Chains A and B, each alone.
Chain A
Amino acid sequence: MNASAERVQQACAFMVADHCFAIDADLVTEVLHGGSLSPVPLAPESIVGLLHLRGRIVPVIDMRRRLGFAALSPSAVRTHLVLRQQDERYSLLVDEVLDVHDFPAERIEQPAKAVGPATDAVSGVFPGPAGLVHFLDPQRIVQSLVRQRTAPFIRHGASHGG
């Protein structure tokens, strides 16, 4: 491999509703399975609760809701991808964490124009062997949450992401 010649982006890949996403691996502090959540009344819809993580209180963003996919039943065991950004921690609740990969930076392409919750945080697309890998901009994941008002109970259908 001539990896040394190529600029690589190290990213942690994960699955949400059968789609593959990736996020800068440097931001990921840990991966947890399960864990009980405390609900937060009046929080933005995508924030499904608070996770108690060794003395820290970490808000949990359900990536299915955030990206506009159908919600899973609360009993489904999912995985926390805990990120650290500017001294703040938060957890992305995802279906499955895959692995940390080196992606050749040149082959990550600009995404199409953002049109909805599924695409507004996507900063790049990589054509992987098993399908597209969507790179997420952590800041944009959070920014739209701040704007998002308290949940009206409207869910996007599963077809939205397909």
Chain B
Amino acid sequence: MAGLNDNAEFIQEFLVESTENLDQLDRDLIALEQAPADEDRLASIFRTVHTIKGNSGFFGFSKLGALTHSGEHLLGKLRDGKLSLDDRVTGSLYSMVDAVRSILQSIEATGSEGDQDFRDLAQTLTAVAAGEAAAVAAKPKAPAPESAEKPPSAVPTPSPSVVPAAEAPRPPEKADEKSSEQPTAGRSATESTIRVDVGLVASILDLVGELVLARNQLRSIDSVDPAMQAVVQRINAVTNALQETAVKTRLQPIEQVFSKFPRTVRDLAVACGKEVHLVIDGVDTELDRTLIESIRDPLTHLVRNAVDHGIEPPAVREAAGKPRAGTLSLRAFNESGQVTIEVQDDGGGIPVEAARAKAVAKGLVAADVAATLPDEQVLQFIFAPGFSTAAAVTAVSGRGVGMDVVKTNIEAIGGTVDLQSVAGAGTTIRVRVPLTLAIMPALIVRSGSERLAIPQAAVSELVPLRPDRDGARIEGLEGAAVIRLRGRLVPVVFLDEFLGLRDRTACRDEGTVVVVRVDDHEFGIVVDGLRTAGGGSVVAATAEVASLTTIVVKPIGSLLAQAGIYAGASVLGDGRVVLILDLRGLVRAAELPPVKQPLETSAAGGATASTRDEDRYLVCRTAAGRRIAMPLAVVRRLENVPANDLQSVGAKRVVRRGDAFTPVVDADGLLGSAPALPTDTVHLVVLGEGAGGVGLAVRQILDVEVAESPLQPGLASCGVLGSLSLGGIATEVIDLAAARAVNQP
């Protein structure tokens, strides 16, 4: 039994090693194509294939053995100079790498080599080796290695007619004596690294975190004993160093992602009929292993886009006075605690006018606004869902996964995507991601008696509330509070109220607004104050740096993660647990509206402030889910009433305020749908006398919005005056006459 387990373990090791070797093989083959005379490279390829062959024999994987044997035979011919490298040879070698990879995947998934038959491929490999060898023999003047670039007749798979019948594939059992003499040394990396289980690394990090806390407690103990002080000092230093080192164990070079790209680019370029020169820089840049996985797909997409849409066909390039081959450059480097990855091509760039037209056509922006937009802002539309400027959907890109997905995926790990494009000169996309998700800078805020962490990457600014001066203050109605930020209205969430920590009362005008951006949302989180990790309070809200702390993110388990409000937790220096806010969850839970196109708001600028009152509407959602609005001017006040406080007077319901009764009408009832009053708290929009002074019961008060279109009376229906666009969404405006009618006897 132990033997079986051992074998499984060896096979696992074999799979991991072979997969790595295949990546290396891809790189080597591409390098060899560019420099066919590189004997070291050829030797390396030969060794790799030989190693896989040897191992597959050891584990009894006969298909793999047969295939790699044929490949090795071909490589042997190449190495001995009996064959020169051309498209046929490289094509068949690439096919072999793919086949080996697919067999390995099958072994990993099912434990067996799978049903696929690779004998044809093995035959092809042998034929290529033999056929070419014959041709070379016939022509004493062997073509120079540089000839690899050309022949138009060359096809990756040779037609069967070129296979000389006499040259049957050799049985794989027959080992190649020559190759067995080949030394398999030369992989320095494997000698200086070890494989460690990820779980082990995680537990080391946990223990180090624990040590840090114990160290903090130790430091807080007063001791006059100099020997003790010295020891504490040393433990302090060692702990710091240990923490730094332990974090590094999670990091892996970005090469793991980049290594696939030479092959991807080559295959794509062939498929698109383009010539692409790939330049890769900074493969040693390190990144958390979980992030490596997360950036793999977005980066692949960017690379595909660059080859498919960015770089022009050779003829077009030549006509434009550019070199035939386009250059795609991938660069990774560390920059201020983040990792930046640049995907740059020297292609045609993004056609700005096409993007502009598309944006208008898609209804993302009004035509007149679009015409005045600067090019950089038009380019941002590329990140809108379903947006593509490519005229034709090609087989390579345009498969529904667009730049919006790239952006979403990168932002999901706390990163950003920037795009620059110069028509005719190319496009640069800059992806910035944090080094690790396990540790992140966060802002520790205080709300009531609680402390919470807000990921710093999302924080755009801190605005102190100063009711006494000209500073920011909370405006707007209850449930739809906003602050003005350079002419923009930014919705705010009161953290204490949101978390149910306490009823918000007088403290409305004090505290700090933490303005955050997440996806398409910008909103403010009103907190009591900012705290340093140590617990000291930050007096000046402008002290951005003072309350920024690097925290170790810990999972809180599925029980709490499902609530969607917390992204995790962390332990502060004093040992207290602090919850990390999940800002996307907050957006969902608080039902915050997305920002109108940023361009629109900035273009509007001061216009927001000067908007006439009659253009402002209060937007609500009814219990039945309808989005309704009423002119802000007719709204007298907003109330939250416990459902129990509603009293029946005849057929009507009223709520008593002092001596006065406010008639209550369910908004859905007014609109002719079935009333569905909530059972706990009723949100009332109490209208002015002009509208009968009734209280309109709604499920939720959403926001105050400025009308973006004239009222469309054509869309009127029962209780509805018409529709208009508020916050980019068509909204029904209630008919005040209908509300007034409710209060008539």
Q: Is A39's CB within 8 Å of the partner chain B?
A: yes
Instruction: Assess whether B575 is in contact with A52, with CB atoms less than 8 Å apart.
Output: yes
For the complex formed, measure the closest distance between the CB of B521 and the CB atoms of chain A, giving whole angstroms.
19
Instruction: Assess whether A43 is in contact with B560, with CB atoms less than 8 Å apart.
Output: yes
Q: Is the interface of A mostly helix, strand, loop or mixed?
A: strand
Contact with A along B527-546 (1 / 0, CB 8 A): 00000000000000000000
Complex Cα–Cα for A145 and B209 (A)? 30
Complex Cα–Cα for A43 and B209 (A)? 26
Instruction: Assess whether B206 is in contact with A57, with CB atoms less than 8 Å apart.
Output: no
**Given A55-B206, A56-B206, A57-B571, CB of A42 within 8 Å of CB of B556:** no
Name which of B554, B560, B575 has the most chain A CB atoms within 10 A of its CB: B560
For the complex formed, measure the closest distance between the CB of A104 and the CB atoms of chain B, giving whole angstroms.
31
Which residue on A lies nearest to B576, using beta carbons?
A: A38
Q: Which stretch (B159-167, B280-288, B561-569) binds chain A?
A: B561-569
Chain A residues near B556 (CB-CB < 8 A): 50, 57, 59
Instruction: Assess whether B563 is in contact with A42, with CB atoms less than 8 Å apart.
Output: yes
Complex Cα–Cα for A88 and B562 (A)? 14
Complex Cα–Cα for A21 and B210 (A)? 33
Contact with A along B36-58 (1 / 0, CB 8 A): 00000000000000000000000
Complex Cα–Cα for A56 and B268 (A)? 46
Chain B residues near A142 (CB-CB < 8 A): 559
Q: Is B363's CB within 8 Å of the partner chain A?
A: no
Instruction: Assess whether B557 is in contact with A146, with CB atoms less than 8 Å apart.
Output: no
Instruction: Assess whether B500 is in contact with A59, with CB atoms less than 8 Å apart.
Output: no
For the complex formed, measure the closest distance between the CB of A21 and the CB atoms of chain B, giving whole angstroms.
19
Chain A residues near B674 (CB-CB < 8 A): none
Complex Cα–Cα for A146 and B501 (A)? 21
Instruction: Assess whether B555 is in contact with A90, with CB atoms less than 8 Å apart.
Output: no
Q: Is A78's CB within 8 Å of the partner chain B?
A: no
Q: Is B577's CB within 8 Å of the partner chain A?
A: yes
Instruction: Assess whether A40 is in contact with B579, with CB atoms less than 8 Å apart.
Output: yes
Instruction: Assess whether B209 is in contact with A55, with CB atoms less than 8 Å apart.
Output: yes
Chain B residues near A150 (CB-CB < 8 A): 500
Instruction: Assess whether A43 is in contact with B563, with CB atoms less than 8 Å apart.
Output: yes
For the complex formed, measure the closest distance between the CB of B604 and the CB atoms of chain A, giving whole angstroms.
35
Instruction: Assess whether B499 is in contact with A59, with CB atoms less than 8 Å apart.
Output: no
Name which of B206, B559, B568, B571 has the most chain A CB atoms within 10 A of its CB: B559
Instruction: Assess whether B499 is in contact with A90, with CB atoms less than 8 Å apart.
Output: no
**Given A41-B500, A42-B500, A52-B571, CB of A57 within 8 Å of CB of B577:** yes
Q: Is B207's CB within 8 Å of the partner chain A?
A: yes
Q: Is A58's CB within 8 Å of the partner chain B?
A: yes
Q: Is A11's CB within 8 Å of the partner chain B?
A: no
For the complex formed, measure the closest distance between the CB of B208 and the CB atoms of chain A, giving whole angstroms.
8
For the complex formed, measure the closest distance between the CB of A74 and the CB atoms of chain B, giving whole angstroms.
14
Q: Is B450's CB within 8 Å of the partner chain A?
A: yes
Chain A residues near B578 (CB-CB < 8 A): 38
In A25-68, which residues have CB < 8 Å from any B CB? Answer: 38-44, 47, 50, 52, 54-59, 61
Instruction: Assess whether A57 is in contact with B555, with CB atoms less than 8 Å apart.
Output: yes
Instruction: Assess whether A90 is in contact with B557, with CB atoms less than 8 Å apart.
Output: yes
For the complex formed, measure the closest distance between the CB of A92 and the CB atoms of chain B, giving whole angstroms.
12
Q: Is A89's CB within 8 Å of the partner chain B?
A: yes
Contact with B along A138-159 (1 / 0, CB 8 A): 0000100110001010000000
Q: Is B193's CB within 8 Å of the partner chain A?
A: no
Which residue on A lies nearest to B589, using beta carbons?
A: A42
**Given A40-B579, A42-B565, A50-B577, CB of A58 within 8 Å of CB of B571:** no
For the complex formed, measure the closest distance between the CB of B733 and the CB atoms of chain A, giving whole angstroms.
33
Q: Is B505's CB within 8 Å of the partner chain A?
A: no
From A38, A42, A89, B557 is in contact (CB under 8 Å) with A89
Instruction: Assess whether B206 is in contact with A41, with CB atoms less than 8 Å apart.
Output: no
Contact with A along B575-588 (1 / 0, CB 8 A): 11111000000000
Instruction: Assess whether B562 is in contact with A146, with CB atoms less than 8 Å apart.
Output: yes
Instruction: Assess whether A41 is in contact with B557, with CB atoms less than 8 Å apart.
Output: no
Instruction: Assess whether B575 is in contact with A90, with CB atoms less than 8 Å apart.
Output: no
Q: Is B744's CB within 8 Å of the partner chain A?
A: no
Q: Is B153's CB within 8 Å of the partner chain A?
A: no
Contact with A along B337-376 (1 / 0, CB 8 A): 0000000000000000000000000000000000000000
Chain A residues near B559 (CB-CB < 8 A): 44, 47, 59, 61, 88, 90, 142, 145-146
From B209, B499, B554, B555, A41 is in contact (CB under 8 Å) with B499
Chain A residues near B501 (CB-CB < 8 A): 41
Q: Is B5's CB within 8 Å of the partner chain A?
A: no
Chain A residues near B566 (CB-CB < 8 A): 40
Complex Cα–Cα for A86 and B563 (A)? 20
Instruction: Assess whether B206 is in contact with A40, with CB atoms less than 8 Å apart.
Output: no
Q: Is B558's CB within 8 Å of the partner chain A?
A: yes
Complex Cα–Cα for A43 and B499 (A)? 10
Instruction: Assess whether B560 is in contact with A47, with CB atoms less than 8 Å apart.
Output: yes
Chain A residues near B206 (CB-CB < 8 A): 54-56
Instruction: Assess whether B560 is in contact with A55, with CB atoms less than 8 Å apart.
Output: no
Which residue on B lies nearest to A55, using beta carbons?
A: B206
Complex Cα–Cα for A42 and B499 (A)? 6
From A44, A56, A61, A88, B554 is in contact (CB under 8 Å) with A56
Chain B residues near A40 (CB-CB < 8 A): 560, 566, 579
For the complex formed, measure the closest distance between the CB of B201 and the CB atoms of chain A, giving whole angstroms.
14
For the complex formed, measure the closest distance between the CB of B249 and the CB atoms of chain A, giving whole angstroms.
16
Which residue on B lies nearest to A49, using beta carbons?
A: B577
Instruction: Assess whether A88 is in contact with B557, with CB atoms less than 8 Å apart.
Output: yes
Name which of B206, B500, B556 has the most chain A CB atoms within 10 A of its CB: B556
Chain A residues near B576 (CB-CB < 8 A): 38
Chain B residues near A42 (CB-CB < 8 A): 499-500, 563, 565
The 8 closest A-B pairs by CB, nearest first: A41-B499, A55-B206, A38-B577, A55-B210, A57-B569, A55-B209, A57-B554, A88-B557
B-binding residues in A (CB < 8 A): 38-44, 47, 50, 52, 54-59, 61, 88-90, 142, 145-146, 150, 152
A-B contact pairs, 13 of them (CB 8 A): A38-B578, A40-B560, A41-B501, A41-B579, A42-B563, A42-B565, A50-B556, A52-B571, A52-B575, A56-B206, A88-B558, A150-B500, A152-B680
Q: List 19 additional contacts besides A40-B560, A52-B571, A90-B557; criterion CB under 8 Å.
A: A38-B576, A38-B577, A39-B450, A41-B499, A42-B563, A42-B565, A50-B577, A50-B579, A55-B209, A57-B554, A57-B556, A57-B569, A57-B571, A58-B557, A59-B556, A61-B559, A90-B559, A146-B558, A146-B562
